Copies of this chain bind each other. A is one copy, B any other.
Amino acid sequence: MTEALVVTVIAVILLAWLIQRRLSQTPVDTFYDLSDGERKPHKWGYTDTVFEFDGPRSVRVTGSRYPLAGYSMPAFIPFAEEALGVPITPEEMMPEPPPQVPPAPCDHAGFDAALREQLDDDQVSITDTDRLVHSHGQLSVDEIYRLLYLGALGRVVDRVLYPQSEDDVRHIVTTAAAHGVCLVPYGGGTNVSGALILPQDEERVIASVDMRRMNHILSLDEENQQATVEAGISGKVLERELGALGFTSGHDPDSVELSTLGGWIATNASGMKKNRYGNIEDIVLEATLVTPAGDVETFHATPRNSTGVPPRVWLFGNEGNFGIITKATIKVHPSPEAREYGLLVFPQFDVGVRFLKQLRHEGGLPASIRLVNNNESRFGQALKSTPTAMKSLMGKVQKFVLYTLKGFDPLRMVACTIVMEGTRREVAQQKKIIFNLAKSYGGMSGGAHNGRNGYMLTFGIAYIRDFFNQFHIMGETFETSVPWNRIHQVTGAVEKQLHQQCKARSVRGTPYLAYRVTQTYHTGVCIYFTMGFSGKGLDQPDAVYHEIEAGLRQAILDNGGSLSHHHGIGKIRAGFLTQIQSEASLQVLRETKRAVDPDNIFGARNGPLADAAK
């Protein structure tokens, strides 16, 4: 190295350190824009945010809602074309199709009249848009792609109801039971298990019960660190309101801006910061479920109980089969005194996994730590802007250190994003343990700023899904929990299966597969996969996609993974249930269903009820 280069390297390192230092002292805030916005009717998220071409070979995200927004990304299209092996150009893009027109809603004068005894005019809607919006979740292929680009319109709800109180909900349930109407609870509409897909042969009037007007914190008990909250509250509103009072729930699923408390409970949600705050079953102390047989609830939330089989067990994972969750008492935490981000780079995935396992043993777990594989790490890199001269230089230095000095292989190296929260002492302690341990695994710090961006990327990903859909590129995420010693077996089997299946079905180009470890547990981890391939030129691309996805799920199960870590069963994974549970288990669930809802008013038929007669 020349002297000039040495000086430059030192200067850059100093600068990077200063930037990191400043960032690590950023005051604690939420990870996403807390402002409300207009929702897209079918695609993911807000109308202000679109992932689109801003030149023939570059893309950008509109608006200013996400850190990803407002700049041109010159590397993304080349990366995606290389990864998928198909052209992605403005010419290949499908035009936005005209909105679909659903059939007229079924009449039921008796039900409508009885509803109006309690509900106001604006609490019942039969508009086409409302009905369509409430007839699907966010499965990329089965719901969004089919609806928008294949013109496939399944059963559509006949009414959308907007209860504003628990009494409204009780009235709706009682009235539906009296008039033989089918109800489907609706939260944030972000479900990705097909739970909101309506049974095609349902002949009764179907009413969607949109819970989002029930979005208030009913009481905050600061001394006991708990709050009772209406179940229709979204994660964003919950955090905004709790934050104003100096508290947080700590629950941070990828869908946190849109999904609701009731939905989290119904699907067994997992938040990114579960190491500190727990998954939804750890956060919710008690909740109320309104069923046709009455309210299932415990009257007071006490810290921990041995009172037989508790009512709360009917709530987690009910997937809308049993009733409507109206409110829950949840743990809340004082807003953390400190938050810091981190990024670690490891030479390869299995080293990162060993590091994660050892970190649990050392007892220095941060609120969130996620390990992305090489593909996903490069995907993140491809979302960067054109570098400034300074950044370009820094990048070169970084690459020199990584690839030349440290000998990392750019096609094997992986990254780990870290969020540390707590008291200042806790954060300092975690930081020390994490970074010391990382060294002994050959890990290198990639900077707090990159850690922060990596964490927040999560909230922008689904917009990219909608961009790809326009090119018949069918992408989906799916997840599993896996014992520690099966991680590489499962990821390897999924990768092999995906390539074989795509080849066998003459899929154009190359399938893309990325994965990350999003959660660690005592006995294993959650692996979150992202896959995509071109459906162009395929007869029935959605059917082909389905067969491929089913093959991947089977590969996961065959190699020791679980049926789902947090997405749920709904309809798309119901066929696998008999592989994981005994017949008697499923039978008990069906009998439980009969106990609370003998007439199947909640007729969405998810999980073990997927094949149940009405």
Residues on A facing B (Cβ under 8 Å):
221, 223-226, 267-270, 279, 285, 291, 293-311, 313-314, 316-319, 331, 333-334, 361-363, 422-423, 425-426, 429, 433, 480-485, 519, 521-526, 560-569, 573, 577, 579-585, 587-589, 591-592, 594-596, 606-608
Contacts and interface: CB of A to CB of B under 8 A. Distances in A.
B296 A584 contact: yes
A281 to B, nearest CB: 9
Contacts of A422: 363
Given A302-B483, A331-B523, A588 B596 contact: yes
B524 A224 contact: yes
Contact of A303 (B267, B482, B594): B482
A562 B302 contact: yes
B302 A481 contact: yes
A363 B223 CA distance: 18
Contacts of A594: 591
B592 A303 contact: no
Residue with the highest number of chain B CB atoms closer than 10 Å, among A304, A433, A482, A587: A304
A300 B584 contact: no
Nearest to A429: B429
Contact of A305 (B564, B582, B591): B564
Residue with the highest number of chain B CB atoms closer than 10 Å, among A307, A422, A582: A307
Contact of A584 (B293, B319, B606): B293
A101 B564 CA distance: 56
Contacts of A331: 522-523
9 contacts: A268-B305, A285-B523, A294-B587, A296-B584, A296-B588, A302-B562, A307-B317, A308-B569, A588-B592
A306 B270 CA distance: 9
Contacts of A596: 584, 588
Total identical chains: 2
Contacts of A310: 317, 581
A366 to B, nearest CB: 12
Contacts of A317: 306-310
A298 B585 contact: yes
A311 B585 contact: yes
Contacts of A294: 582-584, 587
Contact of A293 (B299, B334, B560, B587): B587
Given A267-B306, A306-B566, A309-B317, A298 B587 contact: no
B522 A363 contact: no
Given A223-B485, A584-B296, A592-B591, A309 B302 contact: no
A196 B362 CA distance: 43
A474 B270 CA distance: 48
B304 A526 contact: yes
Contacts of A361: 334, 423
B592 A305 contact: no
A425 B362 CA distance: 8
Contacts of A425: 362-363, 433
A318 B307 contact: no
Contacts of A298: 580-582, 585
B279 A304 contact: yes
A164 to B, nearest CB: 22
Contact of A297 (B300, B316, B525, B582): B582
Nearest 10 pairs between A and B by C-beta? A294-B584, A591-B595, A302-B562, A268-B306, A313-B313, A308-B607, A303-B524, A303-B521, A311-B585, A224-B483
A164 B584 CA distance: 23
A39 to B, nearest CB: 24
A569 B307 contact: yes
Given A582-B295, A584-B596, A595-B587, A481 B303 contact: yes
Given A299-B579, A522-B331, A307 B483 contact: no
A573 B305 CA distance: 13
A425 to B, nearest CB: 7
A308 B562 contact: no
Given A304-B279, A306-B317, A362 B423 contact: yes
Contacts of A606: 308
A564 B279 CA distance: 24
B526 A363 contact: no
Given A306-B317, A483-B224, A607-B308, A363 B585 contact: no
